[in-house]
Structure formats: structure tokens, C-alpha cells
Amino acid sequence: MKNKFLAGIGVAVLMLGLGTAVYADANNWSFRDMLPFMKQMHPEASEQQLYNMYESCHGKDGAMTRNGGPMMWNTNSLQDS
């Protein structure tokens, strides 16, 4: 019984995690779309700092676009920096 419960919890966590990743990958949000969330997470940062942060991740050759995805998806990308 305990094993089935733990397996169910594990499956639920995996489903939520994968669903979140697919949802995030499917949406190409602009800086204006992300700005309210970024202000909430980084209230001390100026809009220019938030824009620079967004560009470093999502802009041309940003971490999210380099090597087809986030740096963690490709261990060689750490050597590219």
C-alpha cells in the first residue's frame, strides 16, 4: 500500500514537471509579457536591468537559445561561454 502511494506521488510530480516544461517551451513570451512576473521576482531591479536579464536568456545567442535550449540541456555550452 505504501509503495503504491509513493509511486502515485512520483507519477504526479513527473507529470506536473513535464507539463510545466512543455507549456513553458510552447509559449514564446515577449519581454512585455514577462515583465510583471520579473518585477514580482526581482522587485529591486530596474526595468532596464530586467530587460538586460531577459535578453541574456532569450535574446540572440542567449542561454535559452544557444545550442537549442537552456545551458543545462547541453553540457558543452558551459565551455562556449
User: For residue range 5-46, what is the model confidence (pLDDT) as tens digits?
Assistant: 889 999 888 888 777 766 666 567 788 888 999 999 999 999
Number of other CB atoms surrounding residue 46 within 10 Å: 9
Distances (CA, A) of 22 to 5, 11, 26, 45, 65: 26, 16, 6, 29, 16
The CA distance from 55 to 37, in Å, is 15
- pLDDT tens digits along 42-79: 999 999 999 998 888 877 766 566 555 554 454 444 44
The residue with cell 509503495 is: 3
The structure's pTM equals: 0.48
> Is 80's pLDDT higher than 50?
no
Helix locations, the chain, DSSP H: 2-26, 31-41, 47-58, 77-80
